[in-house]
A and B are shown apart, each in its own frame.
Chain A
């Protein structure tokens, strides 16, 4: 990624002047600097973790608390993302800005950008500490985005113009530079304040967990016997941990994924086949995201599962019903897409059958491929714990599967038959459910010793 950034940095000038046919690359670029920072914010939000927990091993040592905080905040600077701005803009500064506008302008401009990028770095830490995993955090971001889109739409102002006014006026660059320094110091001070107030390890972890007991209990599930009990258990798991809640959030957001294609008439006309992809993804979004770690989630009590009066077959069956029910639910939620045409609903229904009949077994079986333990007490977004080879390639068969059946018929000129084949495959999978579940259970039974010993290692 770093190399790409650097390559992009070197290519930036000629890309703008030649690729976009803009003579003044400096002015052009300045119009998009705000977008760059918005992008950086999002990237950092997902990749960066708050360095609070790193404090724990040092807390009992004879070190002043403020020193410790400065150490932690300083250490957080050593992050690849913090040289992104340098790599991206430094080549451009020296190749384009220096030669045209002179050394001082170039250095002030670059300096401001780097400082602002680091300001974003600390701002994200503060943001994550205060607002992460709360409704407010999400709402404030959504609100901001809506506001800017509205501003653009109703012609109040264009973000590109604002961006140019801030970064593009050469005579105001010294002021910008001083402001950047000020902002950087300010956000750093806010951070150290926030950290100083919250250095007690108990508070970071416990406020999430206590006082919530017994809140959710889906008693209606009890009428489904032991399958209901195990699904109820799994729902509690999902609702009581940050990482799984994040998956739930993400899944509900990704239900809107279809809008990317369906709202564009030209896309739909040129590539109507994309509907299959969108349909598999929209109806299977939870199945894919949650199912890829199907066994890792409950790694902490795998030994429990194996020693209780429950056969492996029953265990697999409870997993199956959980995934299938949610997939059906996703389909129901995707019904409003019918607004963009009946065809979409039909395709969604067909691929939902495929998801329930075929993909669910693909996911369950691939999730058995040397799963790793997931420590649920750790945080949510972009936590790579539990990711193994299987998770990287799992998407391929799931998303391509329907096309293998569909495309041959489409190329022969019978797209509808292709669609029927996809649905038929799903129906066959549903009809042969007892047999396929037994096969899956047999596989887990033979792998269980290996999986259990893997889960026991921290």
Chain B
């Protein structure tokens, strides 16, 4: 059960979501993306209800799990396909590859493997990168650091910060890694059994407070 009342996320904010397994993080994201129907209440993005509306799909990029990938395509085909949905030309796709070159570390593009054959870490890279297609304003990522190797984790963090600086993005990121999520996000919300029990903003010593909470 999820019971969240009146959660506002400002434009350009980095919103971090933490909580133990079963707290409802993924469910909250699914409700925001109109994949699960809330029993009551609404989700508004840019003042518009996500239900019965397709407009937000143009400016919300998301990657929650493997259901957001197409397992029988190669990463190249997948990016081209997603690109086409956003009106990318072949040149745009090339430019897009260039943006993520460092993050991909030469393991994704042009390898001729199907997505279903990729390692968990590389699956994650494909999904995260695809969430950035079509110049979104909002990006929703569920556990982006999970399964990534240490180099990729550090590169991802740099990438996310850089992209936000260049494109004034709003992030909604859930993570079990308190260090990464506090490095990235100015605001951290702690979910426990479906309820918001902490809403921590900048300038406080967030990491210490989180560690104290999870130790208890």
Q: Nearest Cβ distance between residue A387 and chain B, in whole angstroms?
A: 21
Q: Which residue of B37, B66, B85 contacts A309 across the interface (Cβ within 8 Å)? A: B85
Residues of A within 8 A of B64 (CB): 303
Chain A residue nearest in CB terms to B87: A309
Contact A303 B65 (CB under 8 A): yes
In chain B, positions 113-134 with a C-beta closer than 8 Å to chain A are 113-114, 116-117, 134
Complex Cα–Cα for A213 and B112 (A): 5
Contact A209 B71 (CB under 8 A): no
* A303 in contact with B74 given A308-B85, A309-B54, A310-B54 (CB within 8 Å): no
Judge whether A67 is part of the interface by a CB distance below 8 angstroms. no
- Please name 22 pairs of A and B residues whose Cβ atoms are closer than 8 Å in the assembled complex, sorted by A: A209-B116, A209-B117, A210-B113, A210-B114, A213-B74, A214-B77, A226-B84, A229-B84, A233-B70, A233-B73, A300-B66, A303-B65, A303-B67, A304-B69, A306-B33, A307-B57, A309-B54, A309-B58, A310-B57, A310-B85, A312-B54, A449-B35
Contact B85 A449 (CB under 8 A): no
Chain B 36-57, CB within 8 Å of chain A: the 1/0 string? 1100000000000000101001
* A300 in contact with B85 given A214-B74, A214-B112, A449-B35 (CB within 8 Å): no
Q: Nearest Cβ distance between residue B83 and chain A, in whole angstroms?
A: 10
In chain A, positions 299-327 with a C-beta closer than 8 Å to chain B are 300-304, 306-312
Judge whether A376 is part of the interface by a CB distance below 8 angstroms. yes
Chain A 342-382, CB within 8 Å of chain B: the 1/0 string? 00000000000000000000000000000000001100000
Judge whether A207 is part of the interface by a CB distance below 8 angstroms. no
Chain A's interface size range is 35 or more
Contact A307 B35 (CB under 8 A): yes
Q: Which residue of B67, B112, B116 contacts A304 across the interface (Cβ within 8 Å)? A: B67
Q: Which residue of B35, B58, B74, B114 contacts A306 across the interface (Cβ within 8 Å)? A: B35
Judge whether B170 is part of the interface by a CB distance below 8 angstroms. no
Residues of A within 8 A of B36 (CB): 449, 452-453
Contact A301 B69 (CB under 8 A): yes
* A311 in contact with B67 given A210-B117, A229-B81, A453-B36 (CB within 8 Å): no
Judge whether B200 is part of the interface by a CB distance below 8 angstroms. no
Residues of A within 8 A of B81 (CB): 229, 233
Contact A236 B57 (CB under 8 A): no
Judge whether A18 is part of the interface by a CB distance below 8 angstroms. no
What is the predominant secondary structure among interface residues of chain A facing chain B? helix
- Name A's B-contacting residues (CB within 8 A): 206, 209-211, 213-214, 217, 222, 226, 229, 233, 236-237, 240-241, 300-304, 306-312, 376-377, 445, 449, 452-453, 455-456
Contact B37 A301 (CB under 8 A): no
- Name B's A-contacting residues (CB within 8 A): 33-37, 52, 54, 57-58, 60, 62, 64-74, 76-77, 81-82, 84-86, 112-114, 116-117, 134
Complex Cα–Cα for A307 and B35 (A): 8
Contact B58 A456 (CB under 8 A): no
Residues of A within 8 A of B73 (CB): 233, 236
* A303 in contact with B85 given A233-B70, A376-B72 (CB within 8 Å): no
Q: Nearest Cβ distance between residue B126 and chain A, in whole angstroms?
A: 12
Contact B72 A241 (CB under 8 A): yes
* A311 in contact with B54 given A300-B67, A303-B64, A456-B67 (CB within 8 Å): yes
Residues of B within 8 A of A302 (CB): 67
Residues of A within 8 A of B65 (CB): 303
Q: Which residue of B54, B70, B76, B113 contacts A301 across the interface (Cβ within 8 Å)? A: B70
Complex Cα–Cα for A455 and B71 (A): 15
What is the predominant secondary structure among interface residues of chain B facing chain A? loop
Complex Cα–Cα for A309 and B57 (A): 5
Complex Cα–Cα for A303 and B62 (A): 10
Q: Nearest Cβ distance between residue B108 and chain A, in whole angstroms?
A: 13
Contact B33 A307 (CB under 8 A): yes
Contact A308 B57 (CB under 8 A): yes
Residues of B within 8 A of A376 (CB): 71-72
Residues of B within 8 A of A452 (CB): 35-36
Q: Nearest Cβ distance between residue A319 and chain B, in whole angstroms?
A: 16
Complex Cα–Cα for A233 and B81 (A): 8
Residues of B within 8 A of A310 (CB): 54, 57, 85
Contact B70 A304 (CB under 8 A): yes
Q: Nearest Cβ distance between residue A420 and chain B, in whole angstroms?
A: 41
Complex Cα–Cα for A213 and B73 (A): 8
Contact B71 A303 (CB under 8 A): no
Chain B residue nearest in CB terms to A449: B37
Residues of B within 8 A of A306 (CB): 33-35
Q: A214-B77, A233-B70 are in contact. List 13 more A-B contacts (CB 8 A).
A: A206-B117, A211-B112, A213-B113, A213-B114, A214-B112, A229-B85, A233-B81, A240-B114, A300-B71, A301-B68, A309-B86, A377-B116, A456-B67
Residues of A within 8 A of B68 (CB): 301, 303-304, 307
Complex Cα–Cα for A452 and B37 (A): 11
Complex Cα–Cα for A384 and B146 (A): 35
Complex Cα–Cα for A282 and B207 (A): 67
Chain A residue nearest in CB terms to B37: A449
Residues of B within 8 A of A308 (CB): 57, 82, 85
Residues of B within 8 A of A311 (CB): 54
Contact B37 A236 (CB under 8 A): no
Chain B residue nearest in CB terms to A303: B67
Complex Cα–Cα for A121 and B118 (A): 37
Chain B residue nearest in CB terms to A240: B72
Complex Cα–Cα for A455 and B52 (A): 21
Chain B residue nearest in CB terms to A206: B117
Complex Cα–Cα for A311 and B55 (A): 9
Q: Nearest Cβ distance between residue A261 and chain B, in whole angstroms?
A: 38
Complex Cα–Cα for A225 and B88 (A): 12
Chain B residue nearest in CB terms to A306: B35
Chain A residue nearest in CB terms to B74: A213
Chain B residue nearest in CB terms to A312: B54
Residues of A within 8 A of B57 (CB): 307-310
Complex Cα–Cα for A315 and B142 (A): 26
